[in-house]
Amino acid sequence: MEEHEEIITKDCDECEKICSSTLSDDCINCIGNRKFKILRLKNDLFTKEYDKKRRLLAVIPFFMDVRFDHRPEDLKPKENYFLTTGAKVDICESKDDVGYAYFIKIPEINVTFQELMDIKKEFDKFKESNITENEYIKKWFLGYGILEHLLRDPKVLEININPPGNKTPMRIVHADYDECVTNIYPSEDFLNYLATRLKINTGRPLNKAQPQLDGEILVGKGAKARVAAIADPFSVFGTGYSIRKHRERPWTLPLFMNNKMANSWFAGLMSLCIAHGRTFLSAGPRGSGKTSLLGSLLLEILPKYRILTIEDTQELPIAAYKKLGYDLLPLKVRSALLKEGMELPFDTGLRTSLRLGDSCLIIGEIRSKEAKVLYEAMRVGAMSNVVAGTVHSDSPYGVYDRVVNDLDVPKGSFKVTDLIIIVNQIKSTTGLSRKRRVIQVTEVLKDWQDEPKFQDLMVYDPKKDELVPTKDLLNGKSVLLKQIMERTSGYSGYKDLIRDIQLRGWAKDLHVKIAHDAEQLEAKYISKANILFAKLFELLKPLESKKSEKEFMAKFQKHLKALLDADLKLRKARKTAREQVEKQKKKQEEEMQKRISQKPLSDYTGGTGSKDGRLPDSTGILAQITSLQSSSGGFTDRLMDRLEYWAGYFKGVWSRFKAKDGMD
């Protein structure tokens, strides 16, 4: 077999042959007749890529630091959709292999020659002033380039970028198609740029002495993602990244109920436990949804209570909670992977939070030995409200082993944990598809010394594909519920607690059923529904009699329906108003185009123009470059002359058009 070099890159700034769409023999001679898999010919404006059969693969504008592969013919189209950025996504299925491919086509690759020259001029100014209004320069030199598109795809959950650059395609985790390979090949420049941005944003190192970094990136106004970066020497082939996108808005229990991750029994039990200030841990392996679940349970805390959050990398959508009216104070501490840094260490941050007054405490992730400070605080009653966090484990005993044996929390202190929620991904029989489910809710018993004792309150039934309550929960054996009953007035017996759980679950289930669309399952509406439930529950006391229970259910349903109906009516009115504005705007643009097309071009240009009196259409980058190449004279001189001509030409057209139509 012939040995091919992976990628050959040639600088062709002074060569006119780069303007041709075909790869000539002269180009092959120029690289010394070397064999290649990919040949890249570069100049100041663009890069052209050819495969080993001399086929043109792509023309990449100078400002882009990734390349895009073409879709093979053996892939079967599965689905396509457009992003708000203008990019088109095609999901394809391999005929000979398992899994799916994610092909994205972004609008940047369709820039015309004129647009590319304008961007280059603007970029030259940007290098001197660091100020620009050009959207492409903002995206690719001040933003995150291709990530600005991927993170705007609501179906993309995770992005994995493996080194080395230019050789390994990005992979994503898709909400509907799980793991997919993409047609995006990041360059080394992209990998290095992202590392630099992370170091600047976090103030944390990423080097040979500290080859790991956790941070976050923000794209636009709301798209946020957590980034884990690894570098040499820990990563053999160079810098790599795992990017996990956060939902811009908080998850809610009704949203999880709608996709069957949880059900009404779970929602009711957790709502009751949170209302009575119990402690719990959301546990599961990486990517199971434990942090998202914790975020949804945070909404069950009424806005009247103050909430402190402690995270080393912010994953909870703090701004969204604050917008809903929650009294929330976020604290950021040093990563457990760093020995030194400008941020406070976890234990210092936690001790400080205990001095900030009576509050609910939410720990982003318990993964360092300072966790014993948290348990000590819980044990002495420093927190009288909800205390919750997440931990990596896949079983109740695994949580105990992780907290006690790995993180050095005393066995006695572990007993202050009331509930452990286990979240995991349930695989299909073939293993090709997965779905996230709450698979276990377990209480930590208190009457043990050396070995922990647990009692399941809910377990996952694979036949029903949902959580089911255990006999221990239904038959009055839950120690946790008995403790709540002993410390709360208003419960006449254990059955009242079960009925309370059922009513809370019924309210969530009702919300899912009568919501007009998925939008009404979002946090904005859940927060209002929770406040409505609490007020009516306090006023009507539905546990006292069947009559009061029926009255409570009827009024809650009536008020919730009125709330959702009014919201739908308001949203429809706003949509109609927006459509009318867009319609009027489009009409005005059409009228302006009509006025231009009805007058000969000589009216605006003083006699010059096309034969039919219309403005010439823009053409693609290769066609325009090829036309310049075929004319006589030096390529660079002709290029600049053409650009100066068209710049003056359009400036004259526009000024005469304004003068004739009274726009000045």
The confidence band for 443, taking pLDDT boundaries of 50, 70 and 90, is very high
The CATH number given to 253-571 is 3.40.50.300
pLDDT per residue as tens digits for the range 507-551: 999 999 999 999 999 999 999 999 999 999 999 999 999 999 999
Give the start-end residues of each E strand in 152-294: 156-161, 171-174, 178-182, 184-186, 212-219, 223-230, 240-246, 279-284
CB contact at 8 A, 180 and 172: yes
Residue type, 477: K
Distance CA 287, CA 304 (A): 32
CB contact at 8 A, 283 and 399: yes
Distance CA 105, CA 476 (A): 59
pLDDT at 646: 58
CB contact at 8 A, 425 and 438: no
Distance of CA 270 to the CA centre of its chain: 26
**3-class SS at 639?**
helix
The confidence band for 598, taking pLDDT boundaries of 50, 70 and 90, is low
The confidence band for 97, taking pLDDT boundaries of 50, 70 and 90, is confident
Mean pLDDT of 246-257: 92
In this model, does residue 459 exceed pLDDT 90? yes
Of 335 and 49, which is predicted with more confidence? 49
In this model, does residue 450 exceed pLDDT 80? yes
Choice among 106-110, 182-186, 498-502 with the minimum mean pLDDT: 106-110
CB contact at 8 A, 65 and 49: no
Distance CA 22, CA 48 (A): 10
pLDDT at 549: 96
DSSP 108-170: GGG--HHHHHHHHHHHHHHHHHS----HHHIIIIIS-TTHHHHTT-TTEEEEEE-SSTTTS--
The confidence band for 160, taking pLDDT boundaries of 50, 70 and 90, is very high
CB-count exposure of residue 368 (10 Å: 0-12, 13-18, 19+):
buried
* DSSP state letter for 381: T
Choice among 206-210, 263-267, 468-472, 493-497 with the minimum mean pLDDT: 206-210
Determine if the pTM surpasses 0.75. Answer: yes
- Tokens at residue 194, please? 């992202």
Q: Which of 436, 432, 411, 430 is nearest to 289 (CA)?
A: 436
Characterise 187 by phi-psi region: left (phi > 0), alpha (psi -120 to 50), beta (else). beta
The confidence band for 609, taking pLDDT boundaries of 50, 70 and 90, is very low
pLDDT per residue as tens digits for the range 17-39: 666 667 777 777 887 778 877 78
The confidence band for 618, taking pLDDT boundaries of 50, 70 and 90, is very low
The confidence band for 164, taking pLDDT boundaries of 50, 70 and 90, is confident
Mean pLDDT of 75-100: 88
Per the prediction, the chain carries an average pLDDT of 83
pLDDT at 45: 84
In this model, does residue 323 exceed pLDDT 70? yes
- Tokens at residue 11, please? 């600088």
Q: What is the DSSP pairing of strand 156-161 with strand 240-246?
A: antiparallel
- Tokens at residue 484, please? 């709540």
pLDDT at 606: 47
Residue type, 316: L
pLDDT at 348: 65
Distance CA 483, CA 485 (A): 5
* DSSP state letter for 107: G
Highest mean pLDDT among 129-133, 261-265, 587-591, 602-606: 261-265
Distance CA 605, CA 523 (A): 57
Of 206 and 555, which is predicted with more confidence? 555
**Which of the four CATH numbers 3.30.450.380, 3.40.50.20, 1.20.1090.10, 3.40.50.2300 does domain 66-246 have?**
3.30.450.380
The confidence band for 640, taking pLDDT boundaries of 50, 70 and 90, is low
Residue with tokens 């002269």: 26
List, in sequence order, the alpha helices (H) in 171-229.
188-202
pLDDT per residue as tens digits for the range 35-72: 877 788 888 888 888 888 878 877 888 889 898 887 77
Residue with tokens 């991750």: 261
Distance CA 520, CA 252 (A): 11
Of 432 and 164, which is predicted with more confidence? 164
pLDDT at 601: 47
CB contact at 8 A, 181 and 162: no
- Mention every residue, 6+ apart, whose C-beta is less than 8 A from residue 641: none
In the chain the first and final C-alpha atoms are separated, in Å, by 71
pLDDT at 440: 96
Distance CA 664, CA 662 (A): 6
CB-count exposure of residue 527 (10 Å: 0-12, 13-18, 19+):
buried
CA distances from 327 to 298, 302, 448 (A): 12, 10, 38
Distance CA 510, CA 302 (A): 20
Distance CA 542, CA 554 (A): 11
Highest mean pLDDT among 261-275, 322-336, 395-409: 261-275
Q: Which residues pair with 182 in a beta bridge?
A: 102
List b or e across 425-457, with b for residues whose CB sees 16 or more CB atoms inside 10 angstroms. Answer: beeeeeeeebebbbbbbbbbeeeeeeebebbbb
Distance CA 116, CA 12 (A): 17
In this model, does residue 633 exceed pLDDT 50? no
Residue with tokens 């908080």: 250
pLDDT at 614: 44
The confidence band for 649, taking pLDDT boundaries of 50, 70 and 90, is low
CA distances from 538 to 303, 428, 489, 510, 541 (A): 16, 44, 12, 19, 6
